[in-house]
Structure 1
Amino acid sequence: MTVNISPSKLAKVSLTCNTNLGIGGQGVCLANAAAGLSKIADLTVFCAEMETFETNFPVYPVGYSRWSKRLLATPLLRRRNDLAVLLSDLYFDQQVSKKLQSQPCDLIMGVAGQTNLGFKTAKAKGAIAWLYCLNNYLPFMQKQIQQEMQFLADSTVATMNPMMLQRFSEECEQAELIVVLSNVAKQTFIDAGVPAEKITVINPFINTERFYPAPKNDSIFRPLYIGTIEPRKGVQYLIPAFIQAKIPNSELLLIGGTSTRILRLFVEKTLNQNSNIKQEFWNFSEQEPVQVFSRCSVLVLPSVEDGFGLVALEAMACGLPVIVTSHCGAADLVQDGVNGFIVPPRDEIAIAEKLDFLAANESIRQEMGKVARATALVYTEELYKQQLQQIFINQGLLN
C-alpha cells in the first residue's frame, strides 16, 4: 500500500515515554513511534534517557526520579515496587509538563500511566492528546497480576499503585485516541467499556537484519524463554509444562533474571533438581541476539498478560516458531499451527502438548520456522509508517 501524504496540518508533535529510547521493550516501541511520527510532523521526544545515537528530531532526556531510586536501594522498602514506579512516572510527567508549558505542541502522544499532567498542560494550550498504551487495559493487567499473587503466595509481586490506576483512568478520559500494540490489547479496552472507535491498533516492527535465521549446531530440542522472570510472564507455568513433556534430548533455556524472591527461590530449586533446565543472562543491547536464538528450537512466551511481547516477533524473525498465549498481543501475528501456536493462559498441559509435537516433528517445526520468518518480514518500518500515516488521515490530521 502506498499513501500519498501532503504536508501535515500539525506543526508540532510531542512523544513522551519514561524509558531509554531504543532500549528494552518500551524503548523499542518508543523508537518505533518516533520513526513514524518524524516522517509526518515536527517531532520532539521526551524520554528518561537515550543512547548516544543520532536522530533527525530533538530528544529531551529528563532523567529518573532520585526518590524512586532511593526507595529501590533501601532493603526494607524494595517490596514497594508499585510506589517506586509511581514516583518515577510522576517525576517524569512533572518534568515533561514543565517543558510543555513553553514548548509548542499541537499533538501529544504519551505512554499510559506517565502522561496525565502532560495531557492537561498540552490540552490547555489546544493540543490533541493520544494515549499510547504498551500494555493491555491496566485494570485488566492488575487483575491478572493479583491472580498470580494468589497462585504464588508471594506478597512481593509487583502490583500497580491505586494512584497509577487513577491517573490511567484520567488519561483515557482526556485522550481523543488510544493507540495499542495489538488486537488482543484492544479487546481488553472494549471489554472494559471503552468505545471501539476510540482505539486503534498498530503492531510494532523490529530490525530483521539484526534478527535473522542462523544454523543450529546441535540436535538438542531446546525451548527458549527470554525476558524478566516475573509473575505476569508465566514462566511458573512453562517450567512444569516442560518437565511434564519429558522430551528426550531436550533442554529448556531461560534468559533473564527473576523479579521477586519467591520466583528466585522457585527457579533456583528448579535448576538444582533439573539438569536440563538452564538459566543465562545476556545484554542484547551489547550482545548479538542471534547467538541465543540460533541455539533454540521454539520460543515460548506463556504470558498471563502482555500487550504485545516483542521477543516473539524477534524469535520469528530468527526463524523460530513461537508458542504464545491468547492473552499475549503477539498472538495477532500467529497463525495457529502454521507459524506457531496459541494456547490458553495458565495451561501447562497445552504448552506441554505443543512442545511434544514440535519435538516429534522436526520437518514441520522447520517449515513453521520458515513461515515465521516470512511473517516477521511483513512487519517492516515502512509498513509501520504507512499505518501510522493512515491513522493520521483517519483522524483528519492529514490531507
Structure 2
Amino acid sequence: MNPSYKMPKENFVVATPGRSVCDDNARALEHHGLLRFLALATRNGSKGIPPERTRLKPAVGLAAYAAARMLSTFAAESFRMRLHPWFDHWVKKQLEPGNHIISSYGYVNASFQWVRKHGGKTLLDGGNSHPENFWTILSEEHKRWNCPYPPVARHHYERSMAMMEHVDYVLSPSSFVSRSFLERGFKPEQMIRNIYPLDLSCFKPPTEGRPKDRPLTIISTGALSLRKGAPYMLEAFKIVHQKHPSARFRLTNVVQNSAAPILEKYRDLPIDWAPSLPHPQLAQRLQNSDIFVLASLEEGLARTALEAMACGVPVILTPNTGANDFVEAGKIGEVVPIRDPQAIADAILKWGDLIMTRSTPPTRMFDPNLISFESFEADFISQLADRGVLNSPA
C-alpha cells in the first residue's frame, strides 16, 4: 500500500440476502475498520461481524423460507429471487454518499446505481461466471437433456444482466470467471482476485496406506445437477465399471430437479449414497476414497475439489470448475473437457492404475495457506488499495 495515502473508515457496505462468501469480505473489511455494515435478510448475523455493524431484514428471509416449505424447488427459488427488489429497496434507504458496496448477481441493482451516482464503487461477487455465459451454456445443456426448467428463473437472469452496466469491479475466484467477463468487455483492471478462504483443518490425508482390498472408489461430493455435469460423471463411471466391476461411486444424496430423470437411467450402477455430512465425516469419506471427480459446466470455484486435494485425493476436473486453477496435470489430477465422459473415464482409469499399486499414504496436493483466511484478507485489502478504492489523499 502507498504510504502517502490513508484509508477512509467505515464506508463499505456488504449486502446479500443470505449468509454467503461475501461474509468473508465483510470480515476482512471489519478487521481493517472499513466496514460500515453487513446487510442480511436473516434472523441472525454472521460470525465475526459485531451487532453494531449488522443490519437484518428477517421478513425477507421468512418469506423465502415459507415458499421453500410450500412450493417445488424451482418455484421456491424463483419466488425467493422475486424478493430481491424488496431487499434492495431496504438496503438503498440506508446508504450514504461515498459508500462502496459489495453484493452479487441481481440482489441490489438500485443500490448499485445509487452508490455510483453518489461517489462510491460497486463490487460484484463473481460466484458464478458472467450471467450471459451462465445462461448460454446451461440453456444449451437443459435443452440437450430435455429439461423443462430454465437454468434459473428468467426474471433473475434479466435482473442480473441489467446489473452488469453498474459494476465497477468483479471479485473473481477463478480464471474461468475472469475470462467470462473479459470476453464480454470488462477490462483486466476491473478483475479483483477473490479466492474464497476455506477451513481445511478437518481435511488431511490419511495416515495409513491404501487398503489392498479396497475396490477402486470414485467420489464426488455436493449436489447432483446438470450444471455440475451429473450425466457425464455417471456415464464415465459406467465406462469405468465395465473395466473394474468392483469399482464404486460415492455420491451425496442431494439431487436437483434437473438431474433426477437422468439418474434413473443409471440405477443399476453401484452407487454408495450418503447424506450431506458435517466436515469431520466428509473428510473421513474423502480419505477413504481414491479419486475425486467433478464435471461442472459452470462453477465459480468448486471448494469441494479443494477439500479432496487437501485429503491427498487426486481430482479429475473440467476447466469450468474454478478449482482447476490449482491442478497441475499429471501431478495432482487431470483437467478434461466439458461434456466428455470418455475423457473422464480415461483419466480415472489412468489414476486408478497408479493409486491401486501405491503402498504409502498420500500427501496433501497443495499448500492450504493459499486459501487461508489470512491470505485471503491480505490479498483482498491490498488489491482494493492498489486500485484506489481504499485510499484518499493524506
Deviations 1:336-391 (A, max 9, x none): 1111211111110110001101111117989995251x333432222211211221
Aligned 8 A contact 2:311 2:364 in 1: no
Q: Which residue among 257, 263, 267 is the counterpart of 1:267?
A: 263
- Percent of residue pairs bearing the same amino acid type: 20
Q: SS state of the match for residue 103, structure 2?
A: strand
Q: Which moved more, 1:77-86 or 1:225-234?
A: 77-86
Name the structure 1 match of 2:163: 171
Is 1:140 paired with 2:133? yes
1:318 CA displacement = 1.9
1:280 CA displacement = 1.5
Q: Which residue among 284, 287, 291 is the counterpart of 1:291?
A: 284
The number of aligned residues is 382
Q: Which residue among 302, 305, 313 is the counterpart of 1:309?
A: 302
- Runs of 4+ in structure 1 deviating by more than 6 angstroms, as ranges, are 2-6, 50-53, 363-368
Distance in 1 between residues matched to 2:82 and 2:357, nearest whole Å: 49
1:71 CA displacement = 4.9
Is 1:384 paired with 2:384? no
1:32 CA displacement = 2.6
Name the structure 1 match of 2:85: 90
Q: SS state of the match for residue 170, structure 1?
A: helix
Q: Which residue among 323, 342, 347 is the counterpart of 1:349?
A: 342
Gapped runs of 5+ residues in structure 2? Answer: none
Q: Which residue among 192, 197, 200 is the counterpart of 1:200?
A: 192
Change over 3 Å in CA distance of 1:53–1:124 after alignment to 2: closer
Change over 3 Å in CA distance of 1:183–1:79 after alignment to 2: closer
Distance in 2 between residues matched to 1:35 and 1:364, nearest whole Å: 45
Name the structure 2 match of 1:61: 56
Name the structure 2 match of 1:114: 107
User: Which letter maps to 1:59?
Assistant: T
Name the structure 1 match of 2:27: 35
1:398 CA displacement = 4.1
Aligned 8 A contact 1:5 1:398 in 2: no
Change over 3 Å in CA distance of 1:5–1:282 after alignment to 2: farther
Q: SS state of the match for residue 18, structure 1?
A: coil
1:212 CA displacement = 2.1
Name the structure 2 match of 1:14: 13
Distance in 1 between residues matched to 2:204 and 2:171, nearest whole Å: 28
Distance in 2 between residues matched to 1:45 and 1:315, nearest whole Å: 31
TM (norm. structure 2) is 0.86
Aligned 8 A contact 2:27 2:49 in 1: no
Deviations 1:224-251 (A, max 9, x none): 1111211100011001101102324321
Q: Which residue among 146, 152, 169 is the counterpart of 1:159?
A: 152
1:210 CA displacement = 2.8
Q: Which residue among 254, 258, 263 is the counterpart of 1:257?
A: 254
Aligned 8 A contact 1:69 1:84 in 2: no
Distance in 2 between residues matched to 1:5 and 1:335, nearest whole Å: 40
Q: SS state of the match for residue 367, structure 2?
A: helix
1:178 CA displacement = 1.5
Aligned 8 A contact 1:67 1:87 in 2: no
Q: SS state of the match for residue 267, structure 1?
A: helix
Deviations 1:6-56 (A, max 9, x none): 752243211122223xxxxxx2x2233223222333312122337677424
1:151 CA displacement = 2.0
Deviations 1:58-91 (A, max 9, x none): 233323455555555555x755466324213333
Distance in 1 between residues matched to 2:46 and 2:178, nearest whole Å: 33
Deviations 1:94-152 (A, max 9, x none): 3322333xx67621111122121221333344322111221001111111211221221
1:156 CA displacement = 2.7
Aligned 8 A contact 2:193 2:380 in 1: no
Q: SS state of the match for residue 113, structure 1?
A: coil
Gapped runs of 5+ residues in structure 1? Answer: 21-26
For the aligned residues, what is the CA RMSD?
Answer: 2.9
1:153 CA displacement = 1.0
